[in-house]
Each structure stands twice: as C-alpha cells, then as structure tokens.
Amino acid sequence: MAEEPDSQKAFAARAAFGPKADFAEVFACPAVNVLVHYKAVASRKFRAYGNWNFAPIADAGRRRKLETAPSYRQIAQDIASSLHILCTHPDPCDEAAGYTRLVSCVTIEPELFDLFFNSESGYRGGYFLAHTEGLRANSHILGLVAPALVAHTSHPSLPHHQAEWSLTAESAKCWLAEVGKGFCPACEGEWACPQDSVAEILNERWELGNEPKARYGRKAPRLTKLRFLGAFVDKAGKEYVTTQKRERADHIFKFGWS
C-alpha cells in the first residue's frame, strides 16, 4: 500500500488536534493511529478543513485567541490542571430504578471555557468534525478529571468505585451548566436560552437549522462553569442511557447542541 503523502498526514493532524498541530508530534503519541484517522477524516463529506468562522466579535483579542486555539489535548489538560471543583452529587435515574450517576460542577477561567466550548479545536469542534471525534474528545476530558471528581466527596449512596464507573462509562459527558439543572446553590447554572437566533459560530451547518437545538448550538457563550455528568450505572457497573440522550453525539454533530 502506498504511503500517505506528508501533506495529507499534516491535514489529519490539524483536523484532529487544532490548526497549529505538528504532524510529527501527533504521530509520536502512542494513543493515535494517524493513518487510520486520516482515512476516516478524508472520507467524511460534511467537512472541509477551515469552514469554522465567527460572526463579528467586538473583542478583537477574544477572536484572535479563538482563531489560534491550541490543540484539544492542550485545552483539556489545562482544564484538568486548573479547575476548581464546586460540588459533586449522586443523581438517581428517573427512567430506570437502581441506576445512579455522579454529577459534578467545576469552574474554570472564562478564556479557557471559550477555547473548550467555542473554538474549532475544542469540545464541540470535535463533534462537528464527526461523531467519533466528539466521542473521543468527550472520553479524553472525562478520563483526565474523573479521579479528582471521585475523590472530592464521599457519598454513601454512591461508593467510590461506582462513581468511577459512572464517570468513565461511555455515556458520561461534559457540558456547560444550564440554569435550572443545578443540585445546590454552588452549582446553579449560568446558561439560559438565548433571546435571539443570531449565529455567532459560522460553520455552514449549525447556523442553517431552525429548530431550538440549532438556535442554541450556533451561539458562542463565554462562561465559567462546566458540568460533568456521569453515566447512570447500577451496583454491578451496568450502564443505562436515558431515552433523550441516546442520540446526543448526532445532535451535537448536526446542531452543536443536545
């Protein structure tokens, strides 16, 4: 089989890890098979690298930082090393008896939140590229923060080993903190439904839809709170995915929101 040209490998590296990624550095990472990744990226008809832009932003410094964002791996590492844990709570499942998850709320600097949630190399940028890239980004950030979240507080109804299962299961996720979905005053949400549908992120997909998810997904909120929601697991580690979240990856891919 002919080797992929270096220019194509560099494309794959930038698509996965950000505009400034160097192929040699990515290739050196043992967790990444760049050749396989490139072939997958190249076959996706919905994405041509560079179709991520922003509506006019008054703060030129903010726009510059978003447009020159570091790799997702760097963003995630910065979050893991600087976050402040506000609280953790066990949350029983309403749909399936015997299943519980750990929900945690943390704060980070607004600039880091912006890079994570709104930049092309950030969390939602992964889902925009492909379902698999979004799931990879989600799994990566959960793996980095799970130990600290599990160790933060002991909950009699959710032993440490079950809390760890919850945060590392496939349907565990990270998102911004929405108003009305907190568990205590410390984790009260910041994000509320926008009052208009003006697009702030322009990627030739999210700004085109008319349903609520699309109207939310095209926005670029700059906040400080992230919520880590573990998967619902039982005492044996079996996972249950609620009905409304079974298409989460597809929703973020299509609309930027779930």
pLDDT digits (tens, 9 = 90+) for 80-97: 999 999 999 999 999 999
The residue written with tokens 């990270």 in the block is: 174
Q: Rounded to 5 degrees, what angle do the CA atoms 107, 113, 117 make? A: 130
If pLDDT is split at 50, 70 and 90, which confidence band does 101 have?
very high
Residue 132 has pLDDT above 70, yes or no: yes
Q: Which secondary structure element, helix H or strand E, spans residue 16, and what is its range?
A: helix 6-17
Query: What does the DSSP 8-state code read for residue 185?
Result: G
The whole-number pLDDT of residue 3 equals 40
The whole-number pLDDT of residue 191 equals 97
The whole-number pLDDT of residue 170 equals 96
Mean pLDDT score, 175-190: 96
The whole-number pLDDT of residue 57 equals 87
The whole-number pLDDT of residue 58 equals 84
pTM of the model: 0.80
Mean pLDDT score, 245-255: 97
Mean pLDDT score, 229-250: 97
How many other β-carbons are positioned within 10 Å of the β-carbon of residue 139?
A: 15
Mean pLDDT score, 172-201: 96
Side chain identity, residue 36: V
If pLDDT is split at 50, 70 and 90, which confidence band does 162 have?
very high
**Contact present, 133 and 16 (Cβ < 8 Å):** yes
**Contact present, 176 and 191 (Cβ < 8 Å):** yes
CA proximity to 121, closest of 192, 50, 188, 38:
50
Burial 54-80 (b: 16+ CB within 10 A, else e): beeeeeeebeeebeebbbbbbbbebbb
pLDDT digits (tens, 9 = 90+) for 191-234: 999 989 999 999 999 999 888 999 999 999 999 999 999 999 99
Q: Give the residue extent of every domain in the chain.
A: 1-43, 55-255
Any idea how long the chain is? 258
**Mean pLDDT score across all residues of the chain:** 85
Dist CA 22 CA 103 (whole Å): 36
pLDDT digits (tens, 9 = 90+) for 5-29: 443 333 344 344 443 443 333 333 3
